[in-house]
Chain A
Amino acid sequence: MMSPRAASWLQATPFAIIMTGLVIVPLAMIFAVSFMDYGFAEIIPEFYLGNWTDIFRSDLAVATYATVLRQAFIVWGVTLLLGFTIAYYLIYHVRSNFWRAIFLAACAIPFWTSGPIRMISWVPLLGREGLVNQALTGLNLIDEPISWLLYSEFSVIVVYINMLTMAMVGPIANSMAKISPAVVQAARDQGATEWQVITEVIIPLIKPGIAVGTIFIVTAVMGDGFLVRAMSGNQVNTPAVAIMNEINAFQFPPAAAKSVVLLVVVMAFVGVLLRLVDIRKELAR
């Protein structure tokens, strides 16, 4: 008979091997390679600091970080507002479980279409001959089509919001569903208005959900290079795009140094948010 501890170890071993061998070691490898020299499409395993001094000498790095932080902040703000409002509606105003499930499923169905198709689906809406421009010219609000609707920072942000709002709705709705109805009822009985219930009772209790949603949104925006490239028509440069370009040009050590910087920024941010919530406890509850 195996001891319970040995049984647990045996069960967790394949999982732990994959996480160690394919996540932790590779991330350490990025760090190591960032200190190596390089030639054309090859890594020369010799100590070299040039990849790092290049980063701190360039103004481009500062500009790309300014861009991505601005995008992340706008997308976070909008998805938080949308996500809270939708979650609040689904949990507190939709009264039957059946309709709540139907509404949630309705929100999920568009995600059955694959990412690249959802990106190109904005062409008929935001393009020069798109529906938005057709409507605005039809109403005589503009004389000629607006060109910054598509392949611009605007379209990047619109598509981020479109794709990521559900990542905010989920955790917030999950936190809200855990609030005991008695707590809300007590506040109402004491004469609190709907607005007071929201600000004094609900918001303080859903902070873990907001933190988890924020982690999803910020890591998605900071780490994405595909959507930015596709929706900006290669016009907007972010740190992730810069890294992807260098990887495609086989310049691995400089790409590794830039990856370390971006990873440290993203993980520091996640670390701060995780201090505010104990995820393991949240899940088991």
Chain B
Amino acid sequence: MLNRRPLSYYLLSTFFTAFLLFLYGPMICVYLLSFQGPEGGMSFPMRGFSLVWFETLFSAQGRGVGDLHNSFFRSIRLGLIVALLTMLIGVAAGMSFRRKYPGSNFVFYSAIASMVVPGIFVGFGISLTLRLLGLRPDWWYSGIGAQLTWSLPFAMLIMFIILGRLDKSYEEAATDLGASSAQRFQYVILPLILPGVIGIIMAGFTSSYEESARAGLNIGTGNTMPMELTGLLGAATTPVMFAVGTLTTLFMFSIVIATLLVSGSIAKRRQLRLTAH
């Protein structure tokens, strides 16, 4: 490798910095303007510095703006259940792909189709089906089901990638030593794919938390967070939406950091166990 950087390196570095500015510019505006003074509006300049817009959110017995509080808890509840089901169903389906079996192509391509078909069609189709069956949509079955069509394909792709990298010799060694298939999964495969499984839970939660095109028509009464926020967009005239943005970002930030810490400690524990033997 050359030690001196070519000119293209500096040009591309500048380009990349400009791209980051393009990504972060609007977000920085949101974070700054959420601390706008009480007289200030949705644009710069800042007229003072205050927590007024956060207070508005929590005012009037927690019903400051729209139905945000309930929507937030509905989204969390939905996200946690979707994440758990995505993990169980996705890991099982991923394990099935380790063998060739009749129908594996159907499972694979139906997942790809579910990924590329625009969400409104899946949501619309499910709601038509329910309507023709005479069923009322509700979050605990059609809402969860609609979101699984979005989160499961990602789970399958993650499983595909991690199982593709799995060294088969560990498992063969376990078989040679007389491990049953349940023991192989519990003591050999699961520890090896654990970081990927945590990734699947994370992907399941975030894809549910952000999703509204599929769930929207099938959630029944009571908006989720993205639906409620989309509804509030048109009427937004004060920085209160920016306060929502700052708070929800902090929330996501803490979830991601927590996930990283958990995966980090798992990796460390494994390292310790390996060196101990």
Contacts and interface: CB of A to CB of B under 8 A. Distances in A.
B126 A129 contact: no
Contacts of B157: 283
A9 B110 CA distance: 15
Contacts of A256: 124, 128
Given A112-B253, A130-B43, A134-B44, A117 B229 contact: yes
Contact of B43 (A86, A113, A129): A129
Contact of B29 (A7, A90, A124): A124
A114 interface: yes
Given A22-B145, A127-B42, A244-B120, A4 B29 contact: no
Interface stretch (A48-56, A57-65, A103-111, A201-209): A103-111
B208 interface: no
A125 B128 contact: no
Contacts of B156: 15
A178 interface: no
Interface in A204-252: 215, 219-220, 222-226, 230, 240, 243-244, 247, 252
Contacts of A146: none
B9 A93 contact: yes
Contact of B42 (A4, A115, A123): A123
A12 interface: yes
Interface in A1-45: 4-5, 7-9, 11-12, 14-16, 18-30, 33, 43, 45
Contacts of A120: 30, 233, 236, 241-242, 245
Main secondary structure of the interface of B (DSSP, over half): helix
Contacts of A129: 41, 43
Interface residues of A, number: 87
Interface size class of B (residues with CB under 8 A): 35 or more
Contacts of A20: 110
A112 B249 CA distance: 6
Nearest to A216: B116
Interface in B1-30: 1, 5-6, 8-9, 12-13, 15-16, 19-20, 22-27, 29-30
Interface stretch (B89-97, B188-196, B264-272): B89-97
A223 B118 contact: yes
Interface stretch (B48-56, B57-65, B167-175, B209-217): B209-217
A116 interface: yes
Nearest to B231: A116
A115 B211 CA distance: 9
A225 B149 contact: no
Contacts of B212: 226
B129 A18 contact: no
A81 B107 CA distance: 34
Closest 8 CB pairs of A and B: A223-B118, A26-B125, A15-B93, A121-B26, A11-B96, A116-B229, A117-B245, A19-B110
22 contacts: A8-B104, A16-B93, A19-B152, A22-B146, A23-B125, A27-B122, A86-B15, A90-B16, A114-B209, A115-B229, A117-B245, A121-B242, A162-B22, A219-B116, A219-B117, A230-B230, A230-B234, A255-B124, A263-B118, A283-B164, A284-B160, A285-B164
Given A18-B149, A23-B125, A45-B132, 19 more contacts: A7-B96, A8-B96, A9-B101, A15-B93, A16-B103, A19-B107, A23-B113, A23-B122, A29-B129, A119-B233, A120-B241, A121-B30, A125-B25, A130-B43, A165-B19, A224-B118, A247-B124, A263-B121, A283-B161
